[in-house]
Amino acid sequence: MPCTHRPRGSRLVKRSAVRSEACYRALLECAADGIITIDAASIIESVNPAAERMFGYRGEEVVGHNVKILMPQSYQQEHDGYLARYQETGENKTIGTGREVVGRRQDGSVFPLNLRISEVSSDGSKFFVGVLRDITERKEAEEALRHERDFAESLIETAQVIVLALDTKGRIVRYNRYMEEISGYRLDEVRNMPWVPTFVPKRDQDRISEVFQRVLAAIPTAAITNPIVTRDNDERLIEWHNTPLQDATGTTTGVLAVGQDITERTDLESQLRRAHKMDAIGRLAGCIAHDFNTLLGSIYGYSELALDQLPIGHNLRRSIEQIHRSAERGAALTRQLLAFSRRQVLRPRLISLNAVVADMGDLLRRLTTEDIELVFDLEPALGQARVDAGQFEQVIMNLVVNAADAMPRGGRLVIESANRNIDAGHPDRGAVLATGRYVMVAVTDNGCGMDAETQSHVFEPFYTTKEKGKGTGLGLSTVYGIVRQSGGGVSIISEPSHGTRVKIYLLRSDEAAENISCQPTEDAPEQGNETILLVEDDEMFLELTTEVLESQGYAVLSASSPSHALALSQGHPDPIHLLLTDMMMPEMTGSELAKRLAVDRPGLAVLMMSGYSDEVLEEHGATTMDHAFIHKPFTTRDLARLVRETLDEATS
């Protein structure tokens, strides 16, 4: 029996060894990873098919070669170091561990590998089995992920929007560099602090907290707008778009908010709305002023004629003088309305604003009280500005009077000038029409100041905070109109109890200023005997002007329309020396009428009159450039003088 069992056990052992060998070969053949065996001298003993495919060699091309054939040069030296240390100490830290290495294919290309090495002892000798996995795709995916992460990080940190992450408690997890710039706080100063009480003004905290809870609950919310308080206790208006943050399982972990600073945009939109509003009011004021100019011209003129005919001491004289003074006040009021509406006639010249302000020194001191210190701080190298000198004086007087009224108990009033360059980022960019080089004149007081609501209305006509009878409400509106019509801008800064600063900007020129001295006018213009063709569509004004001219000795052909004037000219065989015509009439403009008449009367002198401004006349194709011009309302003396001058120039 013992002899019978021994051969059977031997066969089983042999069969098991054969099967193990077959299984090992099958594993080598089927394995997806590369498997390489090397001896203690690093000579390759075997490679499996996966390793052949991985390195591009056939087995017989590498078996018997040093394993360094499968490594780039830099790794060959590192491998020699490992081998030397192992032979000296028997220590090999790479055995049984996985690490990333670089392999080299037959074509010389390199690729990343994950390598695990096992040490095997057999028949008293050692050899090593290396299992290699090509991790090219994994590394590429990791690199792509890193690139996307870096790109997203760069985008977040460089974007000109706020990127804010809050946890479910509303605490600050993270925000970007732009938020640091706007708020003045570094992230590490406020991390883990509650967002709402830290940055949101008290008046908005309940509303923002409610929005936060809605976002956490994934309830759709529209964009919201609220201010944030900066480190300097300033407020910046932010428009927020919010969305819940979720982890891989879909659990809400917080809120992501993206915010845009719309402070400047909102300010500009407000200024634009205000400008449109002011323009609409200005157009209405301009139309009213024009109609009143013609009406006041008749009152003004007839009262002058009556006064000329009434002897001193006549019982009606005082009443007519009062009518005349009321007409003068009405004319001054319409001039202010035209100034506000930017429809007055300006005669701009290139002047030195410093010179104008300096010449006004004594007058400005008389406009203030003794307990107000008047200070002039004028830049010596101030550029020139093209503006109507008389209207600029009106601007300065209005501002000084307003400033003095704001300091009933005395104070300090400073008039300064400076050259300023206004670019897109300048705080006063919204006040001017365009970026560029400007001359700035500022009037600053330390009086009662104004709140934001008052400031939003100060340029509107008839708006005043003074008590009844103390002002018309046209001071600042006149300033606004004159400066805007001159191509400039007005900026106002004020706080209650901290005074007011009004800055006037006019386009700067470095050319030499023009002489603005005026020629004196004669007190009594000479009379004449020439024939004048008078054209005016307002019946009362036509009648008045006819009477004035006839009182000066002129023969007057009165026409109520351009067609009537053409008919009178054709039916008048004698010379007509002057055409005095309104500029804006239903049938044609005064300029067109003058051209028609010049065909038959080439030497005809022309004097235009209108209650409209040059701007409005040009809009309707009328122009005063080639003719003398007088603006309504005018005095009878001014009309007589200008008629005489126009006739004399035509014959000289």
Q: What percent of the chain has pLDDT over 90?
A: 23
Mean of the per-residue pLDDT values for the chain?
Answer: 80
Please, which residues have CB within 8 angstroms of residue 481's CB and are 6 or more apart in sequence? Answer: 282, 338, 339, 340, 341, 342, 344
User: Is 21 exposed, middle or buried (CB count within 10 Å of its CB: 0-12, 13-18, 19+)?
Assistant: exposed
Q: What is the pLDDT of residue 126?
A: 79
Q: How many C-beta atoms lie closer than 10 Å to residue 234's C-beta?
A: 13
Q: What is the pLDDT of residue 366?
A: 79
- Grouping H, G, I as helix, E, B as strand and the rest as coil, residue 65 is coil
* Mean local confidence (pLDDT), 183-207: 92
pLDDT of residue 557 exceeding 90, the answer is yes
Measured distance CA(266)–CA(239) in Å, rounded: 11
Q: What is the pLDDT of residue 551?
A: 87
Q: In this structure, what are the phi and psi dihedrals at residue 251, rounded to the nearest 5 degrees?
A: -80, 135
DSSP state of 389: H
- Among the four given CATH numbers 3.40.50.300, 3.30.450.20, 1.10.10.10, 3.40.50.720, the one describing domain 15-135: 3.30.450.20
Measured distance CA(542)–CA(418) in Å, rounded: 49
Where would I find the beta strands (DSSP E) of 432-577?
436-445, 489-494, 500-509, 531-535, 555-559
pLDDT of residue 603 exceeding 70, the answer is yes
- Structure token pair of residue 178: 């732009």
Query: Residue 626's beta-bridge partner residues?
Result: none
pLDDT of residue 558 exceeding 90, the answer is yes
Nearest to 120, CA basis, from 46, 31, 15:
46
Nearest to 544, CA basis, from 306, 325, 345:
306
Measured distance CA(482)–CA(392) in Å, rounded: 8
DSSP state of 425: T
For 405-436, b/e burial (b = at least 16 CB within 10 A) is bbbeeebebbbbbbebebeeeeebbbbbeeee
CATH 3.30.450.20 for domain 159-261, yes or no, is yes
Query: Fold for domain 531-651?
Result: Rossmann fold (3.40.50)
* Mean local confidence (pLDDT), 549-561: 92
Q: Are 45 and 37 in contact (CB under 8 A)?
A: yes
* pTM confidence score: 0.41
- Strand-pair category, 44-47 with 34-39: antiparallel
Place of tokens 């009004």: 502
Q: Determine if the peptide bond prior to 197 is cis (ω within 30°).
A: no
H-type alpha helices, 406-460:
452-455
Amino acid at 402: N
Q: How far is CA 509 from the centre of its chain?
A: 25
Q: What is the pLDDT of residue 520?
A: 43
Radius of gyration, CA atoms only, the chain: 47
Measured distance CA(105)–CA(221) in Å, rounded: 57
pLDDT of residue 222 exceeding 80, the answer is yes
* Mean local confidence (pLDDT), 462-482: 60
Place of tokens 């209108």: 610
Please, which residues have CB within 8 angstroms of residue 8's CB and are 6 or more apart in sequence? Answer: none
Measured distance CA(159)–CA(182) in Å, rounded: 13
Most confident among 142-146, 497-501, 532-536, 583-587 (mean pLDDT):
532-536
Where would I find the beta strands (DSSP E) of 312-426?
349-351, 372-378, 384-387, 411-422
Q: What is the pLDDT of residue 553?
A: 92
Superfamily assignment of 349-509 in CATH? Answer: Histidine kinase-like ATPase, C-terminal domain (3.30.565.10)
pLDDT of residue 344 exceeding 60, the answer is no
**Weakest mean pLDDT among 87-101, 251-265, 443-457:** 87-101
Instruction: Break the chain into its structural domains and give their ranges.
Output: 15-135, 159-261, 349-509, 531-651
Place of tokens 């030497």: 603
pLDDT of residue 90 exceeding 70, the answer is no
Q: Are 343 and 382 in contact (CB under 8 A)?
A: no
Fold matches, 15-135 and 159-261:
yes
DSSP string, 327-351: HHHHHHHHHHHHHHTT-SPP--EEE
Q: What is the pLDDT of residue 615?
A: 52
- 40 falls in which pLDDT band (50, 70, 90)? confident
CA-angle at 393, arms to 387 and 396, nearest 5°: 110
pLDDT of residue 129 exceeding 50, the answer is yes
Q: What is the pLDDT of residue 466?
A: 55
Angle between helices 590-600 and 562-570 (to 10 degrees): 10
User: Tens of pLDDT along 355-382?
Assistant: 889 888 887 887 788 889 999 999 998 9
Q: In this structure, what are the phi and psi dihedrals at residue 127, rounded to the nearest 5 degrees?
A: -145, 170
- Structure token pair of residue 98: 């996985």
Q: What is the pLDDT of residue 3?
A: 47
Q: How far is CA 330 from the centre of its chain?
A: 40
User: Tens of pLDDT along 256-308?
Assistant: 989 888 887 777 776 666 666 656 665 665 566 666 767 777 777 777 778 77
More confident residue, 476 or 552: 552
Q: Are 579 and 593 in contact (CB under 8 A)?
A: yes
Q: Are 483 and 417 in contact (CB under 8 A)?
A: no
Total residue count of the chain as it appears in this document: 652
Place of tokens 């360059």: 421
Q: Are 174 and 191 in contact (CB under 8 A)?
A: yes
